[in-house]
Amino acid sequence: MGFEKLPHLTSDIVTTSDEAIDSLTDLVGQMEARLQLFRKHRVQNIDEYLRKGEGMLPRLWVIHDEFGDWTQNPEYSDEVTALVNRLGQMARAAGIYLIFAAQRPDNTIFPMILRSNLGNRLILKVDSAGTSEIATGIKNAGAEKLLGRGHLLALTGAVPEPTYAQVPYVDGPEVERIVALINEKYPR
């Protein structure tokens, strides 16, 4: 896919579990260093740090696709769960944002502690009310009744009730076109 060509990626796309564990371990180290920096400058989060004009820190986004498939390996599952639980507690304050995608967001893939640490959620259509409740954390949220084709349910910390939305479908050639435009505007 064309995402590998994006100019703002800090590394190649991770394709092995060992690389993923190494990347997440490094991210925990970056988070802890940022939190130390914030303490030194007497601020609580990246927004306050940047407002104070103490220096520049980029916001970092981690996107872990096919999380459920990767966690079929018990060794990887144990290691990644510990790292994500650590990141989930303080990463947002440090300007590190986590996105985990799974085909089937059940409790074997996203245990309760992990779900509680990953607060915001986007849920596409699921197969049952039980899976909807696990994915959303809300009884009768209705993710099993979504229409499909980009219809989603969003849960964010800013709004107490689920928000329903429809996202457009973007095919491969359109992704390539958009990536080319981004590269044109922001060359490496």
Fold of 1-118: Rossmann fold (3.40.50)
CA-to-CA distance for 144 and 129, rounded, in angstroms?
A: 6
Model-level pTM?
Answer: 0.79
Over its length of 188 residues, how does the chain's per-residue pLDDT go in tens digits?
577 888 888 888 888 889 999 999 999 999 999 999 999 999 999 999 999 988 899 999 988 888 778 888 888 888 888 888 888 888 889 999 888 777 776 666 666 666 676 667 888 888 888 888 888 888 888 889 998 888 888 888 777 788 899 988 888 899 899 999 999 998 87
What are the domain boundaries of the chain? Answer: 1-118, 120-188
Angle, vertex CA 66, rays to CA 6 and CA 7, nearest 5: 5
- State residue 112's pLDDT score: 67
Which residue(s) pair with 60 in the sheet?
Answer: 96
